[in-house]
Chains A and B, each alone.
Chain A
Amino acid sequence: MLSTLIWLPILGAAVISLLPRAIPAINIRLTALTVAGLALLWNIFLFLKFDISNSGMQLQEYLPWNDTLGLSYQLGADGLSILMLILNSLLTWIAIYSSSQQTERPRLFYSLILFVSGGVAGAIAAQNLLLFFLFYELELIPFYLLISIWGGQKRAYAAMKFLIYTAVSGALILATFLGTVWLTGSTSFNYDALSTETLSTALQIILLAGIVLGFGIKIPLIPLHTWLPDAYVEASAPVAILLGGVLAKLGTYGILRFGMALFPQAWSIIAPTLAIWGAVSAIYGALTAIAQKDIKRMVAYSSIGHMGYILLAAAASTSLALIGAITQMVSHGIILAILFHLVGVVEAKVGTRDLDKLNGLMSPIRGLPLISALLVLGGMASAGIPGMVGFIAEFIVFQGSFSVFPIPTLLCVVASGLTAVYFVILLNRTCFGKLDNNLAYYPKVLWSEKIPALVLAVLILFLGIQPTWLVRWSEPTSTAMVAAIPPVEKAVTTQVALNQKT
């Protein structure tokens, strides 16, 4: 069941890397697209089979692997992971679709992308800490190669920075996992066999800090974020889609699954810090994005801001906030994918990403009208305009968090407002104004290049109008996850905060 999601892409990657040299790039791309499409279909099938009312693990698989290490091949999905899985499959398909038809060294490119996709699915489905870590580290080298071979000017530097940051994150996570398993006296790394109740609070907080820092690099939270602008900007559009849409989600997924659910007591203690951290991240991301002159860099910083909301919601740990966090993860994945795809198209057609040079793309005949229109839609969705999925997610986050952390929530609302500011700047500089008559002889945008953006735009609008389709998958799971977290600290902070207000 879930194994197919992991092994189908990896098998596809192996087959593609062995294809003969003579096959033209376009056919290799088609093969990769077929494999990714099959994985997506299978994921949709699993999605429909998923029992919404069940809050526990479903679709479980178990194979013994290595008893000495306590490593077993144990998979499963709950309301949190099933959404991440389908996001991964969808974005992989979109990323492959949006790749250029003349990609250099196509066999390596597509096999790496499929490999990454299988690895991410494995990490999300893994129910064994060591198995999770194995799949988590599996992303390291393929992404390094994807950035450093097919990237922009400064790709070598960006890729190395990404590699080192991610490796440090892996080391922190492994250390914490080893610590957790050994200190709780568990003999295996199986997720369901772990219980941290016996640990002292101080120890729990230390371990949780390891988890938060380790995954915080991946999310990324300030000040651990400095790899992100370089990596996102230097990566080509399909790689950026995967980096931002999928890999960043592994970070938040890890915090929810291994931070919040494994250390409920410590979580309630450090939650106020996390809420402030999330709010600061959101504000910082928005303010820095305003200052950027490069549209890709702007979108990259917007990503930092949007991930801040997830941390805030997770810290609040009310049932509603957690649903909001999961929804925000999905919505951010979709919105970031459409934005990076469109930025990639603009760059390919116009030849620049500079805000000072772009102008008047909205012009119906000689500009890129449909692309601009979609860019406006993507920007609005990102800024949280009602009717689109971004608004739904942010609203649930804010509503769920306000009762617990009013001030950080208000800061996040401000950040959300600032998001609108820089997207208006972006849209104003790129889509509106006049075309430069000397330069504006842009190649035509093919229909095949518009399709991914159109699909994503339909999805954004549909889920924005009909949010139940997004929310209902994770409701029982989030309720169950939140139920374990003691409310003591939350009550105290609420009272204090309310007292200050009155």
Chain B
Amino acid sequence: MDFANLASQLNAGTIVPEGIVIVTLLGVLIVDLILGRTSSRWIGYLAIAGLFASIVALYFEWDNTNPISFGGAFNGDDLSIVFRGIVALSAIVTILMSIRYVEQSGTALAEFIAILLSATLGGMFLSGAGELVMIFISLETLSISSYLLTGYTKRDPRSNEAALKYLLIGASSTAVFLYGASLLYGLSGGETELSAIANGIAISGFGQSLGLVIALVFVVAGIGFKISAAPFHQWTPDVYEGAPTPVIAFLSVGSKAAGFALAIRLLTTAFPLVADEWKFVFTALAVLSMVLGNVVALAQTSMKRMLAYSSIGQAGFVMIGLVAGTQAGYASMVFYLLVYLFMNLCGFTCVILFSLRTGTDQIVEYSGLYQKDPLLTLGLSISLLSLGGIPPLAGFFGKIYLFWAGWQAGEYGLVLLGLVTTVVSIYYYIRVVRMMVVKEPHEMSDVVKNYPEVRWNLPGYRPLQVGLVATLIATSIAGILSNPLFTLANNSIAHTAILQPTTVVTTQVSAMNNE
């Protein structure tokens, strides 16, 4: 094999965005090693610049005519690009949030950012991984970084407990996933590449066998853990409550997006033979997640725990698009994850700001905040209402598209359940808005009575403000001016080769079902 042939086989240009992230990661570590803590003033911006460069590089990769690289181990198609973009963007906002938060907790910023960047790297590789070993490695990169981030504030016992719990559940679900992957390897007669697995299984005659179904269920357990779908959600509330808030902001958006990217790629490429089965499994997961996430969130008193259950519910909504299994279904997932990025990160930024200024995250302590901090009140209200699907905010359009796609695919029950649970979710989102906006001055909580003067020029507050305003604007207008985002989401699906044959098959199936 000559060099030119090897280079074209490797096609290393597709991972330039990840390359930039790696260089940034190393840069952050080395700078910190040389300069020590004095660098923490600007090291965050270095990481942000690197991530921006990575997103720019992703832009140039768009509509790559030759996306398969590293002999099939990585697939740089438009689907992966849009998910890698979501992961990188969520990391940017997370860094904006964490500069002050990590400083205040008395821990080192550079290590935090380095671990966060490696989690980002794992998520970005996972979005495009096309081979079982590659999937496992990137999944573990993401997971191990997440465990480390969860326990980062190690003087806090809750953070320790959360990290241990997360590690235990995560490790066992990874093991289950790995068992499923090894079954797939065996069933397909020794293939690790996703596209080859489907063919291998079809040829070897294990088409609808019990082994394939077991492999499917095991793999789904691993994915369900990442996207925190009930009943694999149990880590979510504890981790969200214990871990540093910027970390859970990343876990709720970046990690979840990577999990959904994995779900789409793995299920459509490796399991087309049991499409009805995995749709059934995900229908069950979606039903459970929507009901459990939204009903249990009603009873939460801590903001972070409430957002944890709400994120379980939101994962349930996104799964409607996955179950629909049509082009519109996948596109609605992408669109919803994009707007979910804005609204959830906006919400978490406000939660961080509030806890930085007051040191608490109990919902009752938000009473009467409108008088002291109008911007925070506006930001949290808009993001929560958007999560609840109130027009004309971004979340409304996201939900409409999900429901529309679900209805088109004939998933009436799921859509109706989604509508009902949306009504339920409005209740607990509006409860927080009521605390902040409706409460009279004399009903103000003690914490808000002693609220410090709002100042943005303290170290680390300016990036928080920038992040808050940017995500707030995006949440408010991304719905009304949603055409570019819709085009992006639709194109990312329409231009992705792996989704084309399966979508044809699934539409035929659904057409037959309709008859």
A residues adjacent to B (C-beta < 8 A) = 65-66, 68-69, 130, 134-135, 137-138, 140-141, 144-145, 148-149, 156, 160, 163-164, 167-168, 170-171, 174-175, 178-179, 182
Q: Lowest 4 A-B CB distances belong to which pairs?
A: A171-B419, A167-B423, A178-B407, A134-B391
Are B397 and A141 neighbours in the complex by a CB distance under 8 Å? no
Are A163 and B430 neighbours in the complex by a CB distance under 8 Å? yes
Are A66 and B438 neighbours in the complex by a CB distance under 8 Å? no
C-alpha spacing A156/B438, complex, angstroms: 9
Are A141 and B422 neighbours in the complex by a CB distance under 8 Å? no
B-chain residues with CB within 8 Å of residue A160 when the two chains form the complex: 427, 430
B483 within 8 A of A: yes
Are B437 and A149 neighbours in the complex by a CB distance under 8 Å? yes
Question: Interface digits, B405-439 against A, CB 8 Å rule (1 contact, 0 not)?
Answer: 00110001001100110110011001001100110
C-alpha spacing A373/B72, complex, angstroms: 86
Interface bin, chain B: 20 to 34
B482 within 8 A of A: yes
Are B391 and A148 neighbours in the complex by a CB distance under 8 Å? no
**In angstroms, how far is the closest chain B Cβ from the Cβ of A138?**
5
B-chain residues with CB within 8 Å of residue A175 when the two chains form the complex: 415-416, 419
A-chain residues with CB within 8 Å of residue B483 when the two chains form the complex: 65-66
**Given known contacts A141-B385, A156-B438, A171-B422, A68 and B427 CB-to-CB distance under 8 angstroms:** no
B344-371 interface with A by 8 A CB criterion = none
Are A66 and B423 neighbours in the complex by a CB distance under 8 Å? no
Are B420 and A171 neighbours in the complex by a CB distance under 8 Å? yes
**Given known contacts A68-B401, A138-B392, A182-B408, A171 and B423 CB-to-CB distance under 8 angstroms:** yes
**Given known contacts A138-B392, A149-B438, A175-B416, A168 and B404 CB-to-CB distance under 8 angstroms:** no
Are B407 and A179 neighbours in the complex by a CB distance under 8 Å? yes
Are A174 and B408 neighbours in the complex by a CB distance under 8 Å? no
C-alpha spacing A26/B392, complex, angstroms: 30
Residue pairs across A and B with CB atoms within 8 Å: the count is 71
Are B419 and A145 neighbours in the complex by a CB distance under 8 Å? no
Given contacts A68-B486, A141-B390, A170-B423, 10 further A-B contacts (CB under 8 A): A69-B397, A69-B400, A130-B400, A134-B392, A134-B396, A144-B430, A149-B438, A160-B430, A178-B403, A179-B407
B69 within 8 A of A: no
A-chain residues with CB within 8 Å of residue B423 when the two chains form the complex: 164, 167-168, 170-171
- Chain A residue nearest to B427 (CB atoms) is A164
Offer 13 A-B interface pairs, CB within 8 angstroms, sorted by A. Answer: A65-B483, A68-B401, A134-B392, A137-B390, A138-B392, A141-B433, A156-B434, A163-B426, A167-B423, A178-B415, A179-B407, A179-B412, A182-B407
C-alpha spacing A140/B401, complex, angstroms: 20
C-alpha spacing A276/B62, complex, angstroms: 62
Set B404, B416, B426, B434: member contacting A167, Cβ < 8 A:
B426
**Given known contacts A164-B423, A164-B427, A174-B419, A148 and B438 CB-to-CB distance under 8 angstroms:** yes
- Chain B residue nearest to A170 (CB atoms) is B423
**In angstroms, how far is the closest chain B Cβ from the Cβ of A255?**
20
Are A145 and B438 neighbours in the complex by a CB distance under 8 Å? yes
A-chain residues with CB within 8 Å of residue B407 when the two chains form the complex: 178-179, 182
C-alpha spacing A135/B407, complex, angstroms: 22
Main secondary structure of the interface of B (DSSP, over half): helix
C-alpha spacing A68/B405, complex, angstroms: 10
C-alpha spacing A138/B482, complex, angstroms: 18
B98 within 8 A of A: no
B490 within 8 A of A: yes
B-chain residues with CB within 8 Å of residue A164 when the two chains form the complex: 423, 426-427
C-alpha spacing A188/B493, complex, angstroms: 21
- Chain A residue nearest to B482 (CB atoms) is A66
Set A66, A141, A178: member contacting B486, Cβ < 8 A:
A66
Set B408, B416, B426, B434: member contacting A148, Cβ < 8 A:
B434
Are A68 and B490 neighbours in the complex by a CB distance under 8 Å? yes
Question: Interface digits, B366-408 against A, CB 8 Å rule (1 contact, 0 not)?
Answer: 0000000000000000000100001110001100110110011
Q: Which of B385, B408, B416, B419 has the most CB of A within 10 A?
A: B419
- Chain A residue nearest to B407 (CB atoms) is A178
C-alpha spacing A167/B428, complex, angstroms: 13
**In angstroms, how far is the closest chain A Cβ from the Cβ of B21?**
32
B-chain residues with CB within 8 Å of residue A149 when the two chains form the complex: 437-438
A-chain residues with CB within 8 Å of residue B482 when the two chains form the complex: 66
C-alpha spacing A342/B412, complex, angstroms: 48
Are B403 and A174 neighbours in the complex by a CB distance under 8 Å? yes
C-alpha spacing A144/B385, complex, angstroms: 13
C-alpha spacing A231/B404, complex, angstroms: 32
C-alpha spacing A135/B390, complex, angstroms: 10
C-alpha spacing A167/B391, complex, angstroms: 12
C-alpha spacing A97/B102, complex, angstroms: 52
B281-338 interface with A by 8 A CB criterion = 328, 331
A-chain residues with CB within 8 Å of residue B486 when the two chains form the complex: 66, 68-69
A-chain residues with CB within 8 Å of residue B403 when the two chains form the complex: 174, 178
**In angstroms, how far is the closest chain B Cβ from the Cβ of A43?**
23
B-chain residues with CB within 8 Å of residue A167 when the two chains form the complex: 422-423, 426
B-chain residues with CB within 8 Å of residue A182 when the two chains form the complex: 407-408
- Chain B residue nearest to A155 (CB atoms) is B438
**In angstroms, how far is the closest chain A Cβ from the Cβ of B229?**
23
**Given known contacts A163-B430, A178-B415, A69 and B437 CB-to-CB distance under 8 angstroms:** no
**In angstroms, how far is the closest chain A Cβ from the Cβ of B387?**
13
- Chain A residue nearest to B416 (CB atoms) is A175
B-chain residues with CB within 8 Å of residue A174 when the two chains form the complex: 400, 403, 419
C-alpha spacing A312/B391, complex, angstroms: 33
C-alpha spacing A156/B396, complex, angstroms: 25
B-chain residues with CB within 8 Å of residue A171 when the two chains form the complex: 419-420, 422-423
Set B391, B404, B422: member contacting A178, Cβ < 8 A:
B404
B-chain residues with CB within 8 Å of residue A134 when the two chains form the complex: 391-392, 396
**In angstroms, how far is the closest chain A Cβ from the Cβ of B77?**
21
**In angstroms, how far is the closest chain A Cβ from the Cβ of B63?**
19
**In angstroms, how far is the closest chain A Cβ from the Cβ of B407?**
5
